[in-house]
Structure 1
Amino acid sequence: MASTADRLSERRNSVIPDIEALPESTLDERGRQRFCSALRRFAIQDMPEMLHKDFDHRVAPARQSEGVPLDDALAIEDAMEGEASYRFYSTLRYNAQEMCFQSVQEPIERALPEMIDLARAAQERNPAGGSLRLDPALPVPDYVSQLDVHLTPGCFHKEWVADDVAQGAVVALGARVFSASMSHRSWGGVAKVISRWLKHERHEFAPTRMLDIGTSSGKNLMPYVQAFPGVEAHGVDVGAPLLRYGHAVAEHEGIPLHLSQQNAEALDFPDGHFDLIVSSFFFHEITVDATRKVLAECRRLLRPGGIMVHQELPATCLVDAWEDFFWNWDTEHNNEPNYTDFRAQDPAVLLEEAGFEPERNFAHLLPDLGAYPDRAEAFGWNEPGRPRHGKGAWYVFGSSLPS
């Protein structure tokens, strides 16, 4: 049997192979992954509805008969935290989340030497024209380094061997298990929604250079390159294994991405460098103080006529008490301690503090392509029948600069 080095040598003049195909799961491992995916789907979709019914029909009437108001998320949490239904829901959801990432670790470990060699070859050759810029001296911020965010073992940044890509694979392939059975979700789906909306709202908008903040493995960045041909696409993240892995994926796909290891609170790009700045599920992972710094950086980096669009969780002020309670579960149970603090902020205030003009700021629900393929316009907050974030729509906020 040919060695890894021999197999890679044979492919030196070919395109970069698919790094995601190297971890091959056994039949038992595939069965475990399917089970984990189905279990998480049940925990995140079906069980919340059951829990809501238990609250409405049993817990709330009992509390209200005692004169206890249940008009905000904290009151609902206080009422539910000791209930068997909520404890069972939390236990199942926590373990399902953790198991999704654990289910891909063994095939990744078996394939890791070959994956590292492939990532090195991608960086040496760059056949798609992308680039990878790493900074081994970059301090990883405490909000990443102090815990396994999302219950992902090893988090985003841990490196176990030289030129490691393991965490990139765990995050990317674990997320496949995590989301495979979820309705209306697909990797890069957020980018497809935002780019479609931008084209509808700004027919003339054709960015020449763009930035994705907290890009992970760049999968939410690649669709923008397809949506805006010729755009120079940059992505930043603090996790080197994510970037190595993502660079290999992009080079295999023939999509030139320029990935660099940086903290988005202080980037090394010059002023006014980008026409378009985006992110996906990024701000709730960092502190509110860091959020303010990142938005100030976005204002510095955005050129006149540029647009900034961040997809995030809906703010507390935009949802009812039960939905607020539902979203805040992750703060206590999913190693996302900044979740509630971020959602408590008014995006309009944060944008103004960063120097964006109030009349140019926006917050929308955008329809998911899988749920509403024929609808191009944004949902307004007061529109009857609008879907919830994560139930056929995505919440975005942002701003633009005058030309």
Structure 2
Amino acid sequence: MTIQAGMTGANAPDTIPDIEALAVATHDEIGRQRFCSALRRHAIQDMAGTLEHDFRERVARPAEAKGMHFDDWRMIDRAMEGEASYRFYSSVRYNAQEMCFLSVQPQVERALPAMIEVARDAAALSPAGGSLRLDPALAPPRYVDALDVHLMPGCFHSEYAEDDVAQGAVASLGSRVFTANQSHRSWGGVAKVISRWLKTDHPGFAPRRMLDIGTSSGKNLLPYAEAFPGVEAHGVDVSAPLLRYGHALAEHEGVALHFSQQNAEALDYPDGHFDLIVSSFFFHEIPVKAARRVLAECRRLLAPGGMIVHQELPSSHLVDAYEDYFWNWDTLNNNEPAYTAWRAEDHRALCIEAGFDPAATFALILPDTGAFPARGTAFAWDEPGRPMHGRGGWYVFGSKI
């Protein structure tokens, strides 16, 4: 494994330039990106609501009057696949998702040489004290390189130049488009939710060393470093471009993050190395058999008194048939083939299978910091007014030892 280590002292510059700010959009590109943001928001909010109303009132109500009940998402899928409302909704949502990434490619291509130089300086000097470990021999698993996950051209791992950061930039800036122009500093909402819950429900918990699995560019790792001052924060991913980009961002921010290019199914850290292991929207991207291996690694790597807290999409058995149908759209339409199979699993059961104590294993809905700013405690599943995942709450599962 090749190692690019950090440098401190007199030879290190005071700051690393903001790599994200180098990719400047033109007037017309900004206009296009704002349109893409609005179109995607319209699709996943307004059109999604209209689609559900159409199903319940025009499709389900007459069928139920004849004694038919839609108690399985597959039944809803079969009933809706030929309906004009679904076909229009699905077409708009698919194209809006794809356009978010395509809309930032021109500015990334113009700025790519300068961004590569910044990333090289960050890797060579690391003035904040972080580190970047890359493994050129690591082949991305088939479930990563078989297709463009999330409809992002080139997926996360593709490299087109030496020390490439293009996919990191496209992922970061494209995500800003479909999250209505939030920068990397305003990302990390999942980390803010989980860290707030940890401080509320486990006030004595103070991790010395933590790991973020599938860290991407570290957007959900930065907030943990802020929430737990002094924590040694590590992030792993199979994509070198994402890690180079994330390392440059962290060094610019003056936050020491430690990035490593590894497959989470078999990590090189010693047993009991971490007090906290987290992830966000990671497990539904990998096959269930790979998820089992990752959870087994989590158990091996967790120190006594430690916790795993993984944010994900809720299991099918925790939602009604229509919500199940809504989430599973991504399986066929957003290049996420493991999505439905992952959601069909009982995530607590998978943790127990990996060796975690059943009594210490949980599946919760945590309140979003924006929707419930004063509440850090989890919602009970039967609590009146409990928000759905993604609509005021976040689904997490995990355990502790």
User: Structure 1 residues 222-231 or 54-63, which shifts more?
Assistant: 54-63
- Verify: 1:390 aligned to 2:390, yes or no: yes
Match of residue 103 from structure 2: 103
Match of residue 197 from structure 2: 197
Counterpart residue identity of residue 203, structure 1: P
Structure 2: runs of 5+ lacking an equivalent? 1-10
Match of residue 37 from structure 2: 37
**Alpha-carbon distance between aligned partners in 1 of 2:181 and 2:330, rounded to the nearest angstrom:** 20
**Alpha-carbon distance between aligned partners in 2 of 1:365 and 1:35, rounded to the nearest angstrom:** 32
Match of residue 130 from structure 2: 130
Match of residue 63 from structure 2: 63
Deviation at 1:61, TM superposition (A): 2.8
For residues 116-127 of structure 1, what are the structure 2 equivalents within 5 Å?
116-127=116-127
Q: Secondary structure in 2 aligned to 1:387?
A: coil
Deviation at 1:285, TM superposition (A): 0.2
Deviation at 1:229, TM superposition (A): 0.5
Match of residue 46 from structure 1: 46
Match of residue 328 from structure 2: 328
1:237·1:243 contact (CA, 8 Å) conserved in 2?
A: yes
Q: Secondary structure in 2 aligned to 1:363?
A: strand
Deviation at 1:309, TM superposition (A): 0.2
Counterpart residue identity of residue 25, structure 1: A
Q: Secondary structure in 1 aligned to 2:136?
A: coil
**Alpha-carbon distance between aligned partners in 1 of 2:377 and 2:268, rounded to the nearest angstrom:** 35
TM (norm. structure 2) is: 0.95
Q: Secondary structure in 1 aligned to 2:395?
A: strand
Structure 1 stretches of at least 4 aligned residues deviating more than 6 Å after TM superposition: none
Match of residue 260 from structure 1: 260
Structure 1: runs of 5+ lacking an equivalent? 1-10
For residues 330-369 of structure 1, what are the structure 2 equivalents within 5 Å?
330-369=330-369
Deviations 1:259-301 (A, max 9, x none): 0000000000000000000000000000000000000000000
Deviation at 1:13, TM superposition (A): 3.2
Q: Secondary structure in 2 aligned to 1:155?
A: coil
Match of residue 162 from structure 1: 162
- Verify: 1:298 aligned to 2:303, yes or no: no
1:41·1:181 contact (CA, 8 Å) conserved in 2?
A: no
Match of residue 242 from structure 1: 242
**Alpha-carbon distance between aligned partners in 2 of 1:225 and 1:165, rounded to the nearest angstrom:** 23
Match of residue 112 from structure 2: 112
Counterpart residue identity of residue 48, structure 1: A
Match of residue 381 from structure 1: 381
Q: Secondary structure in 2 aligned to 1:177?
A: helix
**Alpha-carbon distance between aligned partners in 2 of 1:277 and 1:99, rounded to the nearest angstrom:** 33
Counterpart residue identity of residue 116, structure 1: I
**Alpha-carbon distance between aligned partners in 2 of 1:226 and 1:127, rounded to the nearest angstrom:** 18
2:12·2:126 contact (CA, 8 Å) conserved in 1?
A: no
**Alpha-carbon distance between aligned partners in 1 of 2:122 and 2:181, rounded to the nearest angstrom:** 31
Deviations 1:12-59 (A, max 9, x none): 733001000000000000000000000000000111110011111111
Deviation at 1:63, TM superposition (A): 3.2
Q: Secondary structure in 2 aligned to 1:323?
A: helix
Aligned length: 389
Counterpart residue identity of residue 100, structure 1: C
